[in-house]
Chains A and B, each alone.
Chain A
Amino acid sequence: MIAELGHFSLILALCMAVVLGLLPIIGASRSISGWVAVARPAAFGQLLFMAVSFGCLTYGFLTHDFSIAYVAKNSNTALPVLYLVSGVWGAHEGSLLLWALILSCWTGLVALFSRNIPDITLARVLGVMGLVSIGFILFLLLTSNPFERLFPAPLEGRDLNPLLQDPGLAIHPPMLYMGYVGFSVAFAFAIAALLEGRLDAAWARWSRPWTNIAWMFLTIGIALGSWWAYYELGWGGWWFWDPVENASFMPWLIGTALIHSLAATEKRGVFKTWTVLLAIFAFSLSLLGTFLVRSGVLTSVHAFASDPARGLFILVFLAVVVGGSLLLYAIRAPYVKSSATFELVSKESAILLNNVLLVVTASSILLGTLYPLVIDALGLGKISVGPPYFNAVFIPLMAPLAIAVGLGMLLRWKRDNINVIALRVRWIVLACVAVSLLIPLVMPFYSWGAVLGITLALWTVAITVMSFVDRMGPQGFSWQRLQTVPAGFYGMTVAHLGIAVFVIGITLTSVYSVEKDVRMAPDDKLDMSGYIFEFHGVKQTQGPNYVAEQAFVTVSYEGKQVAKLEPQKRVYQVQKMPMTEAAIDAGLFRDLFVAIGEPLGNQGAWSLRIYYKSFIRWIWLGALFMAAGGLIAACDRRYKITPVAPKGIKGDSTDRSPLQRTSEVPADA
């Protein structure tokens, strides 16, 4: 009964989405005020029905209703409550339902928090989001209904994939989806602006906080995924250039470009059409990510669900969204001209450089991810593109990006003098290089890679601090002036410091980590970077829904015991699936990581994987800084106070709100 209610509610949500996707957009172009006014209530209605639908599925999990096929496949009575809830999005159907719910949430939030956006614009924005929602709900209803019944109902469920039974991964998909779907807001604003033929500072200002928040969620989602892969997959790596990881990283890169390009569009009125294009691509890549993960075309550890019909649906949907929006772009963009000019040495140029680097990086990753699929589809053989390619492309592109981050903060809008800048930063540059040359001396060995990484990080920190001090004005530091610095500037500062932390993390982790697979008999010792790992044997233990072999390893440093590690090899009882559970002693400057492999011989010896990971926490710490920066920037007061716009547009297209209309749009556009 509850399942049918959920299904029915989903159909009602579809009806709402159809209303939302059609009436307001038509109403906006024909000036039918009643239809425009439908947008807000329809958005709220859609959210309500999606929430009910999602609630019904969650209820099915909590009550172990195995007559629902999806619950039977992904749950079990022995499953802890946390995983009953996260099990809702543990597989294909439920995660799609979560996606659609989050889309409704974003739509509802836009409807709620955009009181100062003209009704006509808002109607178009919500309408576009409604159209996207139609696609997703149809996809659910036609190919992946989570409420399908199973008859006869089994007595016991088949359990959630043990890999997903982890707190980090329980919240990873919602975060990632908040990010993916959040780009639909920037996308909708861009499409609405194209429909309206009006790309001005106000449009960029409306998009910015939403884009920042979406980007923040995506950043957290990716960081969580990376952290999970590190401790759960038992390989001790933090990024594998796995196609599914790439699928989430590409929208992130484009989203990062979008944030910066939006800033330039808002402040200076440049790069307007480029910004629109980035918004379209950021969302398209989010859809592509879904397609890649959910269609089963990938050989990947993450591609949990696969079904060709679903892949086809998403592919067609993707073609409609990308094709449609690019068509609209081709029709409307030529009328939009950026009248503002800037010189070669200016903040605009630095932002352009940032954008070019980010887009080139995303394109290279796209090439490496899609090329094998295309070759395979054409029947030209099976190939794969390994991590060496991605590293070879990524690192040379990211190093100039780190330099550009500093330049972008130093340079002023419109025009600046390179000689003055050079004079200001020469000592800073020298100091950065000098310190970076010294730091590897205290490390186990000297590495030029480390010098480069540290230089880039120090440069970013130095310039970020310097531009912050500049911002405080010539009188120097005071608490009052600290409060006058806008939140947007604080956000940028924090995010850019995050880049420095992140760069330190990846550099030192990749240079100074030590990894060894070894055979150890009880009481064997292994010396790694001064840490003595001692193996004390393995014994059986019992968990709530698994049995495990648990090893005991103690680690001492300079004669003192620093950690007791108990890695496990679990076998989950329902699916009889073995799982390596690594034991990690985490620290700000180093992690000690031990995972066990298998017994070797019958003397109690095991194969062990022992890693010393230097500075690995800094990678995720940096990502958290960036996410925090995105959040702080989104809270900027400017986004709340917009020019007072009387909402008198109803029924009369000539009576538009007197928001500053810039001259670059034809008067009758």
Chain B
Amino acid sequence: MLIGLMVIGAGLATGFALKSFNENLMYFFSTTDVVEGKAPKDTLFRLGGMVIKGSVERPNDGLMVRFKLTDFSKDVTVEYTGILPDLFREGQGIVAHGKLNAQGVFIAEEVLAKHDENYMPPEVKGSLKNQSAPVAGQ
């Protein structure tokens, strides 16, 4: 009886866990994936790449910041409203969580930069390596 209850309970818990697990998986895409339309619309995903030098702008001196990310093959424009992490810099690799809007602009909910200036997020490093283009300006 007791064992039965426990098994049912554990089963239910596992079921719920797996369900919310599936709902909350976030996939990583490179900028090339996004430009080629491989990334989903209206679903949260993670986008990584290098912030293009000179691309960071703040229209109207407001909280909204716009910049371009690249994997040295294709670029994606990112918009983020809020305070950027300390180590967000042009020329550095970052990862952003967010969704694509209808215009193909990535609306970020969160921007992550690692606390080490030489650091490159592993996903970004991987997606940069996959591009045959030489890493210009590095």
Give me the interface of A with B, judged by CB distance under 8 Å: 161, 163, 234, 299, 301, 304, 344, 349, 352-353, 356, 360, 364, 367-368, 371, 381-386, 388-389, 392-393, 396-397, 517-519, 569, 575-580, 595, 597-598, 600-601, 603, 605, 607, 609
Q: B36-52 toward A: CB 8 Å interface, digit per residue (1/0)?
A: 00000000101000000
Give Cα distance in the complex from A371 to B17, angstroms: 13
One of B13, B23, B28, B87 near A384 (C-beta < 8 A): B28
Chain B interface size, under 10 / 10 to 19 / 20 to 34 / 35 or more: 35 or more
One of A161, A381, A392 near B27 (C-beta < 8 A): A381
Contact A393 B17 (CB under 8 A): yes
A299-B95, A382-B28, A384-B28 known; A600 and B21 CB under 8 Å? no
| Chain A CB within 8 A of B9 CB | yes
A517-B81, A600-B62 known; A382 and B126 CB under 8 Å? yes
Q: Which 4 A-B pairs have the closest CB atoms?
A: A601-B61, A597-B83, A382-B28, A389-B24
Q: Which of chain A's residues has its CB closest to B117's CB?
A: A577
Contact A383 B86 (CB under 8 A): no
Segment 88-138 of B: residues with Cβ below 8 Å from A? 95, 97, 114-117, 121-123, 126
Contact B24 A392 (CB under 8 A): yes
Q: Which of chain A's residues has its CB closest to B123's CB?
A: A382
Q: Tell me how many residue pairs across A and B have CB atoms closer than 8 Å.
A: 109
Give Cα distance in the complex from A41 to B121, angstroms: 48
Q: Which of chain A's residues has its CB closest to B81's CB?
A: A517
Contact B83 A360 (CB under 8 A): no
A299-B95, A301-B114, A601-B61 known; A384 and B20 CB under 8 Å? no
Contact A600 B25 (CB under 8 A): no
Using Cβ atoms and an 8 Å threshold, which residues of chain A touch B115? Answer: 161, 163, 301, 577
Contact A360 B14 (CB under 8 A): yes
Give Cα distance in the complex from A360 to B18, angstroms: 12
Taking chain A's interface residues, is the majority helix, strand, or loop, or is none over half, making it mixed? Answer: mixed
Q: Closest approach, in angstroms, between the C-beta of A379 and any C-beta of chain B?
A: 10
Using Cβ atoms and an 8 Å threshold, which residues of chain A touch B26? Answer: 383-386
Contact B63 A607 (CB under 8 A): yes
Give Cα distance in the complex from A600 to B59, angstroms: 10
12 sampled A-B residue pairs with Cβ under 8 A? A356-B6, A360-B10, A364-B17, A371-B21, A383-B25, A386-B97, A389-B21, A396-B16, A519-B62, A577-B87, A580-B86, A597-B83
Contact B58 A299 (CB under 8 A): no
Using Cβ atoms and an 8 Å threshold, which residues of chain A touch B126? Answer: 382
Using Cβ atoms and an 8 Å threshold, which residues of chain B touch A603? Answer: 61
Contact A384 B84 (CB under 8 A): no
Using Cβ atoms and an 8 Å threshold, which residues of chain B touch A396? Answer: 13, 16
Q: B49-74 toward A: CB 8 Å interface, digit per residue (1/0)?
A: 00000000010011100000000000
Using Cβ atoms and an 8 Å threshold, which residues of chain B touch A601? Answer: 58, 61
